[in-house]
Amino acid sequence: MPEHTTFFSYLIAMFPALGENMHAFGHSLFGEPVTAHGAEPLVASVFVMVLLIGLALGVRAQVKNHDLAVIPEAKLTFRTFFEVFVGFWYDTMKDMMGPKRAKRYFPLVGSLACFILFSNALGLIPGFAPPTSNWNITMGCALVVFVMFNYYGFKENGVGYLKHLFGPYIGWWGIPVNILLFGIEVISTLIRPLTLSVRLMLNMAVDHLLVSLTLGMVALFLPIPVMILGTLVVIVQVVVFCLLTSIYISLATEHEEHGEHAAGDGAPAAHAAHAH
């Protein structure tokens, strides 16, 4: 297979009308045509989403009968995988922000975790490249996180979401410090999509390049340590991205939950601030 080419390149080439539409779309929107290589990350992302939807429907059919679903399966299947994976992230969010908010915001974090995990893992299969090694895909995920945690913050706390950016009010003589803190917090919030997307993209791009070079230069069994390292990178990057997302949501929505936590509903949101 030629360099920088995946199976999705041949898939796009099988449908000439699709290639023509991509060229026309890119020319009208970006001023230059979109090549088959440039469209590969988007096609790979669509493939991952279709795969996840299919797996989710299959698992849903298995757990539809609640009486049978409570009995764990004896071997590893997609059902047991999703039960462990989804349960891990829900428990993590519950410990961070309490069960009420964890249940409310879990669909976003759980969906991101599944999409990023399967996208990252796609790069471990010879002939495929992870869509998360492309900045357009990772920035799209990061922008979704940015929009949603700010939306959640305003929805839960209203104008108070902006007030907390100024820090605690200590008197009129501390107003310049509050203004300085506000500027720092705004800059910190605005760069979150950049740090989230670049971290994920660079790690996956370098990991995929290393795996590809190793597979192309050495014998069959020698790349096994590199594949193990690649698997660890795949998992770690999911944890980092989704853990930071959970922290951002917890920080944005924590003020309204103080009373609830004081009543004993889960761990205090201060844990999230400490982690941040």
Q: Are residues 125 and 186 in the same domain?
A: yes
Q: Are residues 16 and 91 in the same domain?
A: no
For residue 273, name the pLDDT band (cuts at 50, 70, 90). very low
Q: Are residues 165 and 62 in the same domain?
A: no
Number of separate helices (H) and strands (E) present in the chain: 13, 0
Q: How many CB atoms lie within 10 A of CB 59?
A: 19
Q: Are residues 67 and 78 in the same domain?
A: no
Q: Which of 9, 43, 71 is the last residue of a domain?
A: 71
**The pLDDT of residue 176:** 82
Q: Are residues 25 and 129 in the same domain?
A: no
Q: Are residues 264 and 168 in the same domain?
A: yes
* % helix, strand, coil for the chain, step of 5: 80, 0, 20
- Percent of the chain at pLDDT above 90? 31
pLDDT reading at 84 higher than 50: yes
Distance CA 197, CA 130 (A): 14
Q: Are residues 136 and 176 in the same domain?
A: yes
Three-class HEC string of 154-192: HHHHCCHHHHHHHCCCCCHHHHHHHHHHHHHHHHHHHCH
Helix (H, G, I), strand (E, B) or coil at 80: helix
For residue 83, name the pLDDT band (cuts at 50, 70, 90). confident
Between 76 and 134, the higher pLDDT residue: 134
User: Could you tell me if residue 98 is left (phi over 0), alpha (psi between -120 and 50 degrees) or otherwise beta?
Assistant: left
pLDDT reading at 209 higher than 70: yes
Q: Are residues 163 and 247 in the same domain?
A: yes
Residue-number span of the structural domain to which 64 is assigned: 1-71
**The pLDDT of residue 179:** 86
What's the average model confidence in pLDDT over 142-150? 94
Q: Are residues 22 and 154 in the same domain?
A: no
pLDDT, tens digit (0-9, with 9 covering 90-100), for 24-59: 655 555 556 566 566 788 888 999 999 999 998 988
Q: Which of 49, 71, 93 is the last residue of a domain?
A: 71
Q: Which of 18, 46, 71 is the last residue of a domain?
A: 71
What's the average model confidence in pLDDT over 9-13? 70
Q: Are residues 181 and 247 in the same domain?
A: yes
pLDDT reading at 6 higher than 90: no
Q: Which residue has the tokens 């609640």?
A: 66
Number of domains in the chain: 2
Q: Are residues 67 and 88 in the same domain?
A: no
For residue 21, name the pLDDT band (cuts at 50, 70, 90). low
Q: Are residues 229 and 141 in the same domain?
A: yes
Cβ(211)–Cβ(233) under 8 Å? no
Where does residue 249 rank: exposed (0-12), middle (13-18), buried (19+ CB within 10 A)?
buried
pLDDT, tens digit (0-9, with 9 covering 90-100), for 228-272: 788 888 899 999 999 999 999 998 888 644 444 433 444 444 444
